[in-house]
Structure 1
Amino acid sequence: MKFSIDHKSSVPLHIQAENLLRELIKDPEYQAGKLLPNEVDLAKKLAISRTTLRQAINKLVYEELLIRKKKLGTKVAQPKMSSKAMNWLSFTQEMQARGIIIKNYELHVSWVYPDDYIANFFDIKTEKKILKLERLRGNADEAFVYFVSYFHPRIGLTGDEDFKKPLYEMLENEHSVVADLSKEEISAKAADKFIAGKLEIDIGSPVLFRKRFVFDQGDRPMEYNLGYYKAESFEYTVESRRTS
C-alpha cells in the first residue's frame, strides 16, 4: 500500500491520515496481528507532524479499531466476542451460535480438596476431593478466556470424560445431570501474574471476572465456575425484559 496523502487537498491532514489508516488496517497482515508502522516513520513518510498522525490514531483507538500499547506499538483490535446472559448455554454452544469456532489451548483435570467457600456452596466437607477442570479457550487467533470449574461429587465424574465436548450437553447425556439455573456475579479486576500469563497480557491489565453458580433441576448446586476474560477481546451483554 502506498503511504501518501495530498497536501494540496482541502480535506484536513488528520482526516486524510485517518482514512489512510482505515484502509491500512484492512490489510490481512495487520488483521493477523502485525504492528502498524512506527509513528515517527509513518509521520515522515506522510510529511505530517506526529501530533497530526496521533490525532488520527487516537480516533481509531477511541472507536476500538486500534490498540496502542506502550513500548510495543499499535495494532488492529480483534473483534470482541459477545456473551448474552439471557441466552444461557455452555460456552461452546454459545460461541457456535455466533459462528465462532472455539479452540482449547489448554485443558487440565485434577482432583482437589475444596476450600471452605466451595465446600459450603456444595454443602460437603473439605476432606472430600472434587474434580477441578481448567480450560484456556479462545478462537483460532488467540486465547481470550480462562475457566476454572469445580463439580459436586454427586455428579459422578471420573475425570476420563471428554471435556472438549459442550460441557452441559456431556453432563446430561453421560451423567443424567441437567443444568437448569445459573446465578452469576460479574466484576472487573486487574490480572495477577498467573492470569496475565494465561491470557498473555500485562500484569495489572483489566480482566472481566465472572463467578457462575450452576444448579440442577432440583435446585441442587452442581458446578462452581470462575471465568477470567481478556477485556480487550470480550464483552458481556445482559439482556432483560421488564414485566408488569
Structure 2
Amino acid sequence: MKYSINHKSHIPLHIQAEELLRKMISDPEYASGKLLPNEVVLAKQLAISRTTLRQALNKLVFEGLLVRKKAVGTKVASKTVSSRSNNWLSFSQEMAARGIPIRNFELHISWVTPEESVANFFEIGMDKKILRLERLRGRQEGPFVYFVSYFHPRVGLTGDEDFKRPLYEVLEKDHSVVATLSKEEVSAKAADKFISKKLEVDQGTPILMRKRFVFDQGDRPIEYNIGYYRADSFVYTTESRRE
C-alpha cells in the first residue's frame, strides 16, 4: 500500500508522519505482526528526511505502540496497553480513545469502613462507611488490571449506579461531581496470593501498582484508587517538557 503526506499543509511534517503511522498501526496487516516498512524506504516514499520520520517513530515507541529492534525492524507492540501520566481520562475513556476493546470480568460493590490511609486522605473517621468498588478488567483473552476504588461519602454514590459506564461520566452526570485533579504514585511489587489469582499470574510475579488520588473542582478528595496491572500487558509512560 502506498502512503503519502501533504507537503503543502500547514501541519508540520513530523505530525503528519505520526498520524500516518497511527493509521498503519491499525491496519490488520501490521497489527498482526508484520514489520513496518524500512525507515529509508518509508522516508523516501513520504519525501521527508529520516530525522523527521524517526521523530514520529520515537513518539509512538515512547507511547508503547511500536517496538523497534536493532537489525530487525519496527513493528506494532503486541498485547501491551499504554497509559500516559498526563492523559486525564477514566480507564474506560482512555482505552476507548486508543481503540482498545475492554471486557469487565468482575464488578463488586460493597460498603466498608476505611483503612487508616483512606480515612486520612478523605479526612473522615475510620468508623464512617464508604463505598468500595472493585473491578477486574482486560482484553477479551484475559484480565490485566484489578482496580479498587473508595469514594468520599460526600460524592453521593448509592451503589445502584451502572458502573459499566465510564466512572467519571457516572460521577459528573449522575452526581454533578467533576473530577479535575489526579495525583498518582507508581511502584512495583510482587503479586500476593490474592492479586496473582485475579491477574492470572504466578504468586511473586512483578506487577505494577498505581495509586490515584482524585479531587474535584474545589480540590476536595473524591476518590482513592489502587490499580494492580500485569507488567507484561501494561506500560505506564510519562512525558515532560523543559520550558
TM-score normalized with structure 2 length: 0.68
CA distance in 2, matches of 1:240, 1:151: 30
CA distance in 1, matches of 2:165, 2:179: 15
Structure 2 counterpart of 1:108, one-letter code: H
CA distance in 2, matches of 1:220, 1:164: 25
Tell me by how many angstroms 1:240 deviates: 2.1
Residue matched to 1:124? 124
> How is 1:30-179 mapped onto 2 (pairs within 5 angstroms)?
78-179=78-179
Give CA-to-partner distance per residue, 1:36-69, whole Å, 9 cap, x none.
xxxxxxxxxxxxxxxxxxxxxxxxxx96xxxxxx
Structure 1 counterpart of 2:92, one-letter code: T
Tell me by how many angstroms 1:241 deviates: 2.0
Residue matched to 1:235? 235
Tell me by how many angstroms 1:78 deviates: 4.4
CA distance in 1, matches of 2:92, 2:177: 18
Give the percent of matched residue pairs that are identical in Structure 1 and Structure 2: 69
Residue matched to 1:214? 214
CA distance in 2, matches of 1:87, 1:93: 10
CA distance in 2, matches of 1:79, 1:130: 35
Judge conservation of contact 1:118–1:224 (CA < 8 Å) in 2. Answer: yes
Structure 2 residue runs without a partner (length 5+): 1-31, 34-67, 70-76
SS across alignment from 2:79? coil
SS across alignment from 1:232? coil
Structure 2 counterpart of 1:97, one-letter code: A
Residue matched to 2:201? 201
SS across alignment from 2:232? helix
CA distance in 1, matches of 2:113, 2:103: 29
Tell me by how many angstroms 1:185 deviates: 0.3
CA distance in 2, matches of 1:78, 1:206: 19
Structure 2 counterpart of 1:178, one-letter code: V
Q: Which runs of 4+ in 1 moved over 4 A?
A: none
Tell me by how many angstroms 1:102 deviates: 1.0
SS across alignment from 2:137? strand
CA distance in 2, matches of 1:132, 1:78: 33
CA distance in 1, matches of 2:218, 2:94: 24
Residue matched to 1:192? 192
Tell me by how many angstroms 1:194 deviates: 0.2
Judge conservation of contact 1:86–1:240 (CA < 8 Å) in 2. Answer: no
Which structure's CA Rg is the greater one? 1
Tell me by how many angstroms 1:87 deviates: 1.4
CA distance in 2, matches of 1:177, 1:230: 31
Structure 2 counterpart of 1:201, one-letter code: V
SS across alignment from 1:120? helix
- The alignment yields a C-alpha RMSD, in angstroms, of 1.6
Structure 2 counterpart of 1:145, one-letter code: V
SS across alignment from 2:177? coil
Structure 1 counterpart of 2:173, one-letter code: N
CA distance in 2, matches of 1:105, 1:242: 41
Judge conservation of contact 1:149–1:223 (CA < 8 Å) in 2. Answer: yes
TM-score normalized with structure 1 length: 0.68
Structure 1 residue runs without a partner (length 5+): 1-25, 28-61, 64-76
